[in-house]
Structure 1
Amino acid sequence: MSRICGFLSVALLCVAVPVLAADPTGTWKWSVERNGQTFETTLKLKHEGGKLTGTVSGRNNTETEIEDGKVDGDDVSFKVTREFGGNKFVQTYKGKLSGDTIKGKVEFERNGEAQSRDWEAKKG
């Protein structure tokens, strides 16, 4: 009987302790090199009530709202829709949050072809 009570106590403790998702709230920065020039990108995120919102900087320091922001454990994902030369394009960011770093891939389409590149943002 004591063995059963001990097992039930451990089982209840495991159920009672919630699994906390990583919190990506804050300002994140990374650099991107294009055509021999380096551009710094700033991502501002807010995670509240299971929803991820924020903005990402672009050319000329413009900020664009993120879309479809999600946090699942330590996985972070969102989309950014930009317009350039009268054309809209979507970048899909997926990354893994570890301490003060988000590291992952951004996927996009260029000239009708799917492409991706690595991205690594640091908090601060």
Structure 2
Amino acid sequence: MVSVLALLLIAAFAAVAADFNGKWVAQVPGRQGTMEQTFTFKVEGSKVTGTVSTQMGETEISEGQVSGDDISFVVVRKFGEMEMKSIYKGKAAGNEIKFTMQMQGGRGGERPPVEFVAKKAS
């Protein structure tokens, strides 16, 4: 009986997904220094929508998915005829998300991945 209860408790804790809803703030390293990015997420089931805000403005996210503690999405920015795509993959741990961002397109084409941590805004 005790072992069955213990297994049920373990399963319940394992099934709890991270709460990505709300605002998250990160300092993201780049070629021209660090840039603050603010992420605003809304999760419905396994789908995530929202925006990424920087000093260059606010951009909608696309292809947003969540699964347990994992989140992924794409941000496409256009500068005239030039398009830059950023692919974000993150893993939540408490009030932080550890992200890896891969940039494609724009000047210079694909760049090495960038790692950073976003913290839940209070």
Q: Normalized against structure 2, the TM-score is what? A: 0.78
Distance 2:18 2:114 in 1: 23
Distance 2:29 2:93 in 1: 24
Give the structure 2 partner of residue 94 of structure 1.
89
Aligned length: 116
Query: Unpaired runs of 5+ in structure 2?
Result: none
Distance 1:92 1:35 in 2: 17
CA shift at 1:39, angstroms?
2.3
Give the alignment's Cα RMSD to 1 decimal.
Answer: 2.6
Give the structure 2 partner of residue 45 of structure 1.
41
CA shift at 1:55, angstroms?
0.3
**Structure possessing the higher relative contact order (Cα contacts under 8 Å, 6 or more residues apart):** 2
User: Which of 67, 75, 82 is the equivalent residue of 2:62?
Assistant: 67
User: Which of 73, 76, 79 is the equivalent residue of 1:78?
Assistant: 73
The answer to whether the 8 Å contact 1:109/1:115 transfers is: no
Distance 1:89 1:31 in 2: 19
3-state secondary structure, aligned to 2:115: strand
Query: Unpaired runs of 5+ in structure 1?
Result: 1-5
**Change beyond 3 A, Cα 1:98–1:37:** same
**1:56 is the counterpart of 2:52:** yes
**Change beyond 3 A, Cα 1:113–1:38:** closer
3-state secondary structure, aligned to 2:89: strand
Aligned residue type for 2:78? E
Q: Normalized against structure 1, the TM-score is what? A: 0.77
CA shift at 1:116, angstroms?
0.8
Identity of aligned residues (%): 43
CA shift at 1:21, angstroms?
1.4
